[in-house]
Amino acid sequence: MSGLDTRPSNTSCVAPARATGSTTLGTERVFPKLKFNGQLTQMTQIPSDSSRWFTVERFGTIRTFANDQAVTTTSMFLDITARVDSACAECGLFSIAFHPDWPATPRAYVTYTSKTRNLAGPNTHLSEFTSNDGGLTLDPDSERIVLDLYKDTEHHHAGRLNFGADHLLYMSTGDGNSWKVDKGQLMTTLLGKMLRIDIRSTTGSALYSIPADNPFVGNTLCNLNGGTGPQSCPEIFAWGFRNPWQWNFDRGTGDIWLGDVGESDIEEVNLVKKGGNYGWRCREGTIDISGDKRWPTGGGCVGKTDLNPPIAQFTHEVGHVVIGGVVYRGTAIPSLVGRYVFGSFGGFIWNIPNDTKPTLNMTAEFQSGLKPSSFTEGNDGEIYFTNIYNDLQRITGPSAGGGGVATKLSATGCVNAANATQPSSGLIPFQPNAPLWSDGAVKERWIGLPNGKNITVGATGDWDFPNGTVLMKNFRLDNRLIETRLFMRHPDGVWAGYSYEWNAAQTDATLVRGGKKVTIGDQSWTYPSEGQCLQCHTEAAGFSLGLETKQLATSFKYPQTGRDAHQLVTLDAINVLTPPVENPTDVVAYPDPKGTAGTLAERARAYLHSNCSQCHRPDGGSTANMDLRYTATLAGTSTCNVVPGLGDLGIANARLITPGSAAKSVLVSRMNRRDAYGMPVIGSAKVDEEGVALVSAWVNSLTSCN
């Protein structure tokens, strides 16, 4: 029996055109006929050659293509996939910089994480490659390793390269997340630094020399022992960084503008000067964290008076992962000249004057809906950026862009015009069998599917939704609506999330820009920012969380008809699934974690799948290398008897999961707290005590990792 007789007609709850601009800038796709299979980490040009572009892909390839908007193909410039460690979320091939005398000196320099591991994490290589065919390609067999940096963990590699106007090579390095040692403030290591070397000459066996005005010139080089030495490393130009992923020179002044990715609270932008100390791990942004128990007491911060404050910063309530940008010096956008354009991986793009004084606190501004991973300046002076999973973009002038979403929920077309607390008639209700914990809120969910378009059911059970789709969810506390979230796939295929806060009269809800926290009753409630929505709704998880074949292989009472019916049977009957699910009543659902069906292990694994696996899976974006999908074997989760790479939380002999002991399992400890060490890192302020008890009971029942 079907819960619905026919597919409802949905003409009102359809995602509008995405906003592609603001009053100060906009974005537009460039080279629209190109398709990229790898994750884009950089696009660049040879300064002396405007005829082509190069793209760096995280998995180990660099491609080149003609500087022509009609171009349809790329060619391989360098393929070192076999030697690049890209298995961990922060690992891969990061950057390329061409020798200042190219093509007379046909050499280029790249940074990547290698499959060599002298310590727990992959080594970072700064390598030189030579072209033997007139610059058409780089010869992978010509590699010479300039620097080989050892790291304790799989995190914080940084790695952007640029040559300055002085023809010296600058390279940013992450601190390797060595949480037991403050590498950012430790001067005998190259980690957590901005380096500057001269590759036009050598020093002994080193393939470089030290510029005469480097802060520690004359000291022993740090290239021979994994990036460490007996003295302050002479390669260092500036220090005190956590993970300075992206940075660029201002071509007008020569200044270095750098985005340093934050830890728990703040992302920051630094104006880097020679010999400058930029604070990590004494400060995160402008916050003093020197006494934080995550780090060694004092941690090299005692008596520090030379810490440079950031020029700008923003909190994780606004966005996450700062992407350092470019000071605009082009001609196409006069109003933007001299302004620093930068962004966040969550989609926000900001611009501030290049003479901004420390410290400007950024709030929600232009939400692009994209995933900027790097900004670059083209030879034409315009600003381009990589949209990591999809395409290449360019900054444009002020533009209102697309229509964007309505400010009032009642104007979205997704709720009843006469009663905004009710959905519009074209929506299809649903309920996952293993729901996400939302601090005790009662939730209602609907699908707004454009007429004439279907959901594609993947072979693994993940569902892909057509452009125009809207997924709506209501949240209630004490039987009152507090929030409605709309997760939209805009007409250009970009997913974006929007949160609406309900008024006290329960008559309408208003769009929340940039997120906020409020107190409701006796608990804190978070309205997520647009960027935070995309932290959880990851591409690796298929964006639409909770909508999988095995999540909906269960009965549900349809409000429209009052019938209790199988959801897959219903969706098949009204012809919205392509292909239809065969024998839908035979599909075994994920068990309800708080129900009685399924074994203890199955219920615990279903809980982890629903609450954690959107990030903790291959390419899910988590810094912890785990796979908590229901389908992974226990050994395949990379948690059982695995030493934690992000701190032991003070637990002796800790493991991510210790068979037979929840008390010694960091995974359980993180679930059971809501401080800086807790999980999830966003979206929840209240521990799910039942969930913790369930996972604890399962861990305690384990006798091995098999």
Question: Do residues 481 and 491 both lie within one domain?
Answer: yes
Residue 524 bridge partners (DSSP): 519
Question: Do residues 242 and 364 both lie within one domain?
Answer: yes
Question: Do residues 581 and 478 both lie within one domain?
Answer: yes
Query: Which band of pLDDT confidence, cut at 50, 70 and 90, is reported for residue 552?
Result: very high
Query: Which band of pLDDT confidence, cut at 50, 70 and 90, is reported for residue 177?
Result: confident
Q: What is the pLDDT of residue 562?
A: 96
Q: Is residue 105 part of a domain?
A: yes
Q: Is residue 65 part of a domain?
A: no
Whether pLDDT at 400 is above 60: no
Q: What is the pLDDT of residue 401?
A: 54
Q: Which residues contact 524 (CB under 8 A, 6 or more apart)?
A: 517, 518, 685, 686
Question: Do residues 586 and 601 both lie within one domain?
Answer: no
Distances from the Cα of 611 to the Cα of 100, 281, 536, angstroms: 49, 30, 10
Asked if the peptide bond before residue 122 counts as cis, ω within 30 degrees of 0, the response is: no
The helix or strand, by DSSP H or E, that contains position 247, with its residue range, turns out to be strand 246-249
Whether pLDDT at 580 is above 60: yes
Region 238-246: mean pLDDT is: 97
**DSSP letters of 578-604?**
ESPPSSGGGSPPPPPTTSSSS-HHHHH
Query: Which band of pLDDT confidence, cut at 50, 70 and 90, is reported for residue 591?
Result: very high
Total of domains in the chain: 3
pLDDT digits (tens, 9 = 90+) for 444-478: 999 999 999 999 999 999 999 999 999 999 999 99
Region 687-694: mean pLDDT is: 96
Q: Is residue 460 part of a domain?
A: yes
Query: Which band of pLDDT confidence, cut at 50, 70 and 90, is reported for residue 618?
Result: confident
Which range among 328-332, 363-367, 518-522, 601-605 shows the weakest confidence by mean pLDDT?
Answer: 363-367
Which range among 132-136, 531-535, 551-555 shows the weakest confidence by mean pLDDT?
Answer: 531-535
Which of 314, 310, 308 is CA-nearest to residue 266? 314
Say which DSSP state 45 is in: E
Q: What is the pLDDT of residue 432?
A: 97
Amino acid at 327: V
Instruction: For residues 644 and 647, give the distance between their C-alpha atoms in angstroms, rounded to a whole number.
Output: 6
Domain limit, last residue, from 563, 590, 617: 590
Q: What are phi and psi of 337, to 5 degrees?
A: -60, 130
244 compared with 530, residue with greater pLDDT = 244
Domain limit, last residue, from 375, 396, 417: 396
Question: Do residues 235 and 375 both lie within one domain?
Answer: yes
Distances from the Cα of 437 to the Cα of 510, 667, 688, angstroms: 24, 16, 7
Q: What is the pLDDT of residue 681?
A: 81
Q: Is residue 73 part of a domain?
A: no
Question: Do residues 567 and 595 both lie within one domain?
Answer: no
To 10 degrees, what angle do helices 600-612 and 689-701 make?
A: 130
Angle, alpha carbons 682-686-688 (nearest 5°): 105
Q: Express the helix, strand and coil content of the chain in percent, nearest 5 each.
A: 10, 35, 60
Say which DSSP state 695 is in: H
191 compared with 514, residue with greater pLDDT = 191
The helix or strand, by DSSP H or E, that contains position 612, with its residue range, turns out to be helix 600-612
Whether pLDDT at 299 is above 80: no
CATH number of the domain bearing residue 333: 2.120.10.30
Three-class SS state of 311: coil
Say which DSSP state 5 is in: S
Q: What is the pLDDT of residue 336?
A: 96
Render the burial of 375-393: b for 16+ CB within 10 Å, e for the rest.
bbbbeeebbbbbbbbbbbb
Instruction: For residues 337 and 190, give the distance between their C-alpha atoms in angstroms, rounded to a whole number.
Output: 35
Q: What is the pLDDT of residue 300?
A: 64
Question: Do residues 345 and 379 both lie within one domain?
Answer: yes
Q: What are phi and psi of 129, to 5 degrees?
A: -125, 150
Instruction: For residues 542 and 547, give the distance between their C-alpha atoms in angstroms, rounded to a whole number.
Output: 9
Whether pLDDT at 646 is above 80: no
Q: Which residues contact 248 (CB under 8 A, 6 or more apart)?
A: 162, 256, 257, 324, 325, 326, 327, 375, 376, 377
Region 311-339: mean pLDDT is: 95
Q: Which residues contact 120 (CB under 8 A, 6 or more apart)?
A: 151, 152, 153, 154, 645
Whether pLDDT at 44 is above 90: yes
Q: What is the pLDDT of residue 295?
A: 62
Residues present in the chain in total: 706
Amino acid at 362: M
Q: What is the pLDDT of residue 619?
A: 79
Q: Is residue 637 part of a domain?
A: yes
Q: What is the pLDDT of residue 624?
A: 77
Q: Is residue 50 part of a domain?
A: no
Whether pLDDT at 690 is above 80: yes
Q: What is the pLDDT of residue 294?
A: 63
Q: Is residue 66 part of a domain?
A: no
Query: Which band of pLDDT confidence, cut at 50, 70 and 90, is reported for residue 297?
Result: very low
Whether pLDDT at 136 is above 70: yes
Domain limit, last residue, from 557, 590, 623: 590
Query: Which band of pLDDT confidence, cut at 50, 70 and 90, is reported for residue 298?
Result: very low
Instruction: For residues 604 and 687, give the distance between their C-alpha atoms in angstroms, rounded to a whole number.
Output: 16
**Is the Cα dihedral 177, 180, 186, 188 positive or negative?**
negative
Range of the domain at 336: 26-34+83-122+148-396
Question: Do residues 320 and 454 both lie within one domain?
Answer: no
Whether pLDDT at 74 is above 90: yes
Question: Do residues 620 and 554 both lie within one domain?
Answer: no
Q: Is residue 129 part of a domain?
A: no
pLDDT digits (tens, 9 = 90+) for 409-450: 999 999 999 999 999 999 999 999 999 999 999 999 999 999
Which range among 155-164, 397-406, 421-430, 547-556 shows the weakest confidence by mean pLDDT?
Answer: 397-406
Region 302-328: mean pLDDT is: 92
Select, from the ranges 24-28, 150-154, 387-391, 506-510, the one with the highest average predicted confidence (pLDDT): 506-510
Whether pLDDT at 43 is above 70: yes
Question: Do residues 408 and 554 both lie within one domain?
Answer: yes
Q: Residue 171 in contact with residue 110, Cβ under 8 Å?
A: no
Question: Do residues 353 and 391 both lie within one domain?
Answer: yes
Query: Which band of pLDDT confidence, cut at 50, 70 and 90, is reported for residue 88?
Result: confident
Whether pLDDT at 361 is above 50: yes
pLDDT digits (tens, 9 = 90+) for 262-296: 988 899 999 999 999 999 999 999 999 887 766 65
Question: Do residues 526 and 634 both lie within one domain?
Answer: no
- The pTM (predicted TM-score) of the whole model is 0.86
Within 13 A of 207's CA, how many CA atoms are on the CB side?
A: 13
